[in-house]
Chain A
Amino acid sequence: MKCPTPDLLEDYAEGFLSGTEARELEAHLGRCAACRQAFEARKRWLEACGSLPALMLPPGFAQRVMAAAFPRPRRRRRLLPALAAGLASLSLIAVLLIAAGVCNLPDLMTGSGRMLWRGLHVSASLGAKVVAGLMAMLKAAAQILRLVWGAIEILTAAAPPQVPVLALASLLVLAGIFVFGFRKSFIRR
């Protein structure tokens, strides 16, 4: 037998050769030191190829896959039935309390009516205060704007006619740079 090809040596190392072929090769390896050495190297090479360390999955990966395969229904859908169930339970409790005589219906209605009125009164006065505050802020802003406008008028009257045009052009350029710089925020991919 001639010296075997590398793929034949590999077939032998992997146990793919028939009985006769394997015996012939073994006889050759017994005689030829170079081939024996090549076979040993190939065996080591194959062992190394087949024993690379495993890459380990993070714990709980299967749960991640299952969550993606079976997504949970949205919570919002459950909110309305829960609200309805809560209201129905409260009504039922109220009816039971009245029926059992624990609560007096006219007193209960008067009491809850008063509470409701007080609540409305408090929220209305609070709302009025908020609106008054907002109005004061708007007035202050208007005063500031009036002052700024006056200053601009004085400046433009004193300056030559090219200056306002130049200022307007600069403002436009600045606005352009601003919009261009933040275009990613405005444009959705």
Chain B
Amino acid sequence: MSEDRELVKHALQGDRNAFEMLVLRHQQPLFNYLGRLVGERETALDFTQEVFLRAFAKLESFRPEYKFTTWLYRIASNCVIDHWRKKNIPCLSLDRSSGPDGEDAQRQAVDPSLSVVAGLEQAELRERIERGLERLPPELRELFVLRHVSGFSYDEIAAIKGQPSGTVKSRVFQAKETLRRMMEETP
């Protein structure tokens, strides 16, 4: 990670290769994140480029005490939220409480409804998750993707979204429960 900071430092001094190295290091995971969020390959490609351009334009605002990935994904997240707003896709704030569904899911003692998992091969399960993900509400989809596709820790997601870690953790759980319920409803 300190390598990222070094590369940013060199890029700020006008080293073009340093910025190219940053692009090469982060392009694939960033595209994966954006692709899972927007669902269209071409749009995701445009967004990935746009995020790197925005990052390049405000590279001076990056503070080395933070992780570069956190900073980059915050830009990406804002970019996607702007896109959803323009398309009038409702985005809920993470400040909102989990709601009765999420609470119920957490209170439930044993979870018999994971039956959707039992009868499926792992590949088929993955395929159904991919399909379900497209129908998941955007704000939950983003948290799911950050945690399970991009592999960020809850603390890192909290830093990206600017929210408490506990809130993020319970919303990620809610995202999975919603996804599971949706998979059960539409086999």
Q: In the bound complex, how far is the Cα of B103 from the Cα of A11, in angstroms?
A: 16
In the complex, chain B residues 152-184 whose Cβ is within 8 Å of any chain A Cβ: 170, 173, 176-177, 180
Give the docked Cα–Cα distance between A46 and B151 (Å): 12
Given contacts A35-B110, A38-B112, contact A65 B23 (CB under 8 A): yes
Q: Which residue of B lies closest to A70 (CB)?
A: B16
Residue from the list B44, B107, B111, B176 in contact with A49, Cβ < 8 A:
B176
Q: Mark A50-74, 1 if CB is under 8 A from B, else 0.
A: 1111111110011011101110000
The interface residues of chain A, by DSSP majority, are classed as helix
Q: Cα distance A77–B119 when bound, in Å?
A: 67
Q: Is the interface of B mostly helix, strand, loop or mixed?
A: helix
**CB 8 Å contact bits of B22-62 with A (1 = contact, 0 = none):** 01100110011001100001001100110011001000000
> Interface on A for B, CB 8 Å cutoff?
2-7, 9-10, 34-35, 38, 41-42, 44-58, 61-62, 64-66, 68-70
Residues in chain B near residue A66, CB distance under 8 A: 16, 19-20, 23
> Is A52 touching B109 in the complex (CB atoms < 8 A)?
no
User: Shortest beta-carbon distance, A134 to chain B, in Å?
Assistant: 50
- Pair B41/A55 contact, Cβ less than 8 Å: yes
25 contacting pairs across A/B (C-beta < 8 A): A5-B107, A6-B177, A7-B170, A10-B173, A38-B111, A41-B114, A42-B114, A45-B114, A45-B117, A45-B176, A47-B122, A48-B126, A49-B148, A52-B149, A54-B28, A55-B31, A57-B27, A57-B31, A61-B48, A64-B49, A66-B19, A66-B20, A68-B53, A69-B53, A69-B56
